[in-house]
């Protein structure tokens, strides 16, 4: 068109270069015009976001939520991994991070998450009153970026890429507690003291300069909490987060109030404070927890899930067929709803049957993909009836010279048993029967 209408004689590459210079081939998003953003000054802004990760913890794959807080000016960050992330966890994370730094920025940029936003998006977002009050108490306000403008918190988005490329490679984690300890050391020590790639500035030194413009967190600021109601059983235990906690007193089936904090719980009976417990690590489950000095008892709390590892170990040692059957039932079959209970029932069945019959039952169950214990019992009963061999009731050969044994000779001359008592009982019983018949006839 340029050649035909305007007699243009230049090259095509020159036209492309000029179009690029004038930015005619695309429309650039003006984030500052959309959100009123200006150059970020010290103490003005911090950013928060979460991202899912699938990590290996002690040989098991776990899906976790990574929560990270990022100071926009100094590039300081705080990283914690959680099994799940809700509003209470979000408040607990902010309290932990900001009390560690001791300061907060004027505003915190987030996406339009329902954990903080009640309705609306971007500049029209209306935040949850609970989160507004929490942010005000920590010295900051919330700001939700516009839809499709996640680069408004690009420093935080880049932080997750840094975790993938810098923190996770070459590391192994025993459990969630070990993972968070390594993440804490990496974010607040190693990464904070490393010069930035573009400017060469050190985040920790920038944060020291930024402190005078940040909002100081009051010392001893109380952590967030939430209230639960639990009922104790006859042994004084109540269930909370997969563990059993003991309460004092002899009153059973009492309704207690449990106040949950990020790292401990406090137990109340009415308005009376009973005791408090430090929450165990996340991997501790199905444990009976008591205060120090309280003697242990043999009583088990209700709903305590008994472990079946020993029973499973003994079953797998019986034969390869049994081990393969258990492996299939636990990993591939969807019929086993409660694995521990099923393993214990299968172990009880193995103790009631002969090893060969049990193995044949397992082979048939594997063939027809059956896992119900009552069906296995019917299979075993059928196999016993169909088996006509003598291995279940063996004929014990009796030697012909058994009467020559010393034990036989000594027992041959033993005293005859006195059966007079039994004879009297039989005689009296017959007389009673005769008297009853005579009365009937008369």
Residues 167, 171, 176, 182, CA torsion sign: negative
Q: Which has the closest alpha carbon to 312: 329, 335, 333?
A: 329
- The pLDDT tens digits for 198-257 are 778 899 999 999 999 999 998 888 999 999 999 888 888 899 988 999 888 766 678 999
User: For residue range 242-277, what is the model confidence (pLDDT) as tens digits?
Assistant: 899 988 876 667 899 999 999 999 999 988 999 999
Q: What is the token pair recorded at 276?
A: 């408090």
In CATH, the architecture of 42-216 is 2-Layer Sandwich (3.30)
Q: Rounded CA gap, 317 and 328, in Å? A: 16
Contact 67, 50 (CB under 8 A): yes
Cβ atoms of 88 and 224 within 8 Å: the answer is: yes
Window from 228-232, 247-251, 340-344, 391-395 with minimum mean pLDDT: 391-395
- Whether 133 shows a pLDDT value over 90: the answer reads yes
Residue with tokens 């000054």: 41
Can you tell me the distance from the alpha carbon of 214 to that of 201, in angstroms, rounded to the nearest whole number? 19
Q: pLDDT digit string (tens) for 14-56?
A: 888 888 888 776 655 444 444 444 567 888 999 999 999 999 9
Who has greater pLDDT, 427 or 164?
A: 164
Q: Please give the average per-residue pLDDT across 340-353, as a whole number.
A: 86
Asked whether 244 and 301 are in contact (CB, 8 A), the reply is yes
Location of structure tokens 């802004």: 45
pLDDT given at position 37: 47
Instruction: Say if CB 177 and CB 279 are below 8 A apart.
Output: no
379 in Cβ contact with 387 (< 8 Å): no
Q: Which residues pair with 244 in a beta bridge?
A: 239, 288
**Which residues sit opposite 230 in a β-bridge?**
256
What gap in Å lies between CA 343 and CA 348, rounded to an integer? 9
Residues facing residue 49 across a β-bridge: 68
The Cα–Cα gap between 440 and 162 comes to 103
Nearest-angstrom CA–CA distance, 234 and 245: 13
| pTM for the predicted model, two decimal places | 0.64
- Tell me, what's the pLDDT at 174? 92
Q: Specify the pLDDT at position 307.
A: 67
The rounded distance, in Å, linking the Cα atoms of 175 and 59 is 9
In a 3-state reduction of DSSP, which class is residue 259? strand
Position 390 scores a pLDDT of 43
pLDDT of 158 reads 74
| Both tokens assigned to 272 | 């009376």
As a whole number, the mean pLDDT across the chain is: 82
Give CA–CA dist 365/173, Å, rounded: 39
Checking if the pLDDT of 152 tops 70, the result is no
Place of tokens 């019983």: 429
Show the tokens assigned to 145. 């970026």
Beta strand spans in 195-254 (E): 215-216, 226-231, 237-240, 243-246
Among 67-81, 254-268, 361-375, 384-398, which is the least confidently predicted range?
384-398
Helix 320-331 to helix 355-368 angle (10° resolution) is 40
Query: Where does the pLDDT of residue 419 fall: very low under 50, low under 70, confident under 90, or very high at 90 and above?
Result: low
Domain coordinates in residue numbering, the chain: 42-216, 226-289, 309-386
Residues above pLDDT 90, as percent of the chain: 33
- The tens digit of pLDDT for each residue in 158-202 reads 778 888 888 999 899 999 999 999 999 999 999 889 888 777 889
HSE, side-chain direction, 13 A CA sphere, residue 85:
21
Question: pLDDT category, 299, cuts 50, 70, 90?
Answer: low
Question: Helix, strand, or coil here: 193?
Answer: coil
At residue 301, does pLDDT exceed 80? no
């Amino acid at each position: 068109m340029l050649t035909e209408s305007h007699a243009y004689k230049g090259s095509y590459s020159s036209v492309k270069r000029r179009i690029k210079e004038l930015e005619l081939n695309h429309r650039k998003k003006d984030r500052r015009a959309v959100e009123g953003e200006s150059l970020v000054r010290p103490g003005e802004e911090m950013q928060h976001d979460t991202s899912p990760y699938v990590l290996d913890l002690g040989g098991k794959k776990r899906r976790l939520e990574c929560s990270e807080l990022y100071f926009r000016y100094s590039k300081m960050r705080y990283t914690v991994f959680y099994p799940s992330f809700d509003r209470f966890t979000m408040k607990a994370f902010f309290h932990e991070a900001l009390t560690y730094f001791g300061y907060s920025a004027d505003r915190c940029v987030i996406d339009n998450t329902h954990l903080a936003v009640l309705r609306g998006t971007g500049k029209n977002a209306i935040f949850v009153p609970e989160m507004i009050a929490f942010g005000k108490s920590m010295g900051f306000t919330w700001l939700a970026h516009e839809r499709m403008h996640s680069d408004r918190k690009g420093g935080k988005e880049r932080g997750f890429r840094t975790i993938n490329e810098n923190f996770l490679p070459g590391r192994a984690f025993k459990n969630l507690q070990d993972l968070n300890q390594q993440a804490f050391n990496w974010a607040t020590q190693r990464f904070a003291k490393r010069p930035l790639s573009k400017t060469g500035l050190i985040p920790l030194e920038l944060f020291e300069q930024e402190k005078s413009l940040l909002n100081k967190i009051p010392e001893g600021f109380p952590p967030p909490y939430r209230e639960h109601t639990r009922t104790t059983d006859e042994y004084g235990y109540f269930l909370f987060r997969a563990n059993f906690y003991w309460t004092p007193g002899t009153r059973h089936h009492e309704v207690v109030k449990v106040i949950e904090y990020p790292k401990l719980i406090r137990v109340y009976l009415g308005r009376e404070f009973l005791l408090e417990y430090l929450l165990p690590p996340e991997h501790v489950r199905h444990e009976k927890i008591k205060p120090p000095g309280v003697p242990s008892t043999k009583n088990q709390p209700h709903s305590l899930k008994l472990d079946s590892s020993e029973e499973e170990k003994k079953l797998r040692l019986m034969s390869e067929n049994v081990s393969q059957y258990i492996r299939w039932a636990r990993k591939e079959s969807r019929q086993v709803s409660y694995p521990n209970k099923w393993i214990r029932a299968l172990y009880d069945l193995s103790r009631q049957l002969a090893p060969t019959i049990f193995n044949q039952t397992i082979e048939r169950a594997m063939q027809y993909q059956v896992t119900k214990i009552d069906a296995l019992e019917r299979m075993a009963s059928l196999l016993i009836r169909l088996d006509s061999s003598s291995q279940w009731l063996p004929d014990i050969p009796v030697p012909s010279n058994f009467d020559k044994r010393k034990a036989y000779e000594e027992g041959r001359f033993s005293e005859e048993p006195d059966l007079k008592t039994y004879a009297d009982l039989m005689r009296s019983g017959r007389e009673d029967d005769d008297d009853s018949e005579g009365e009937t006839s008369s």
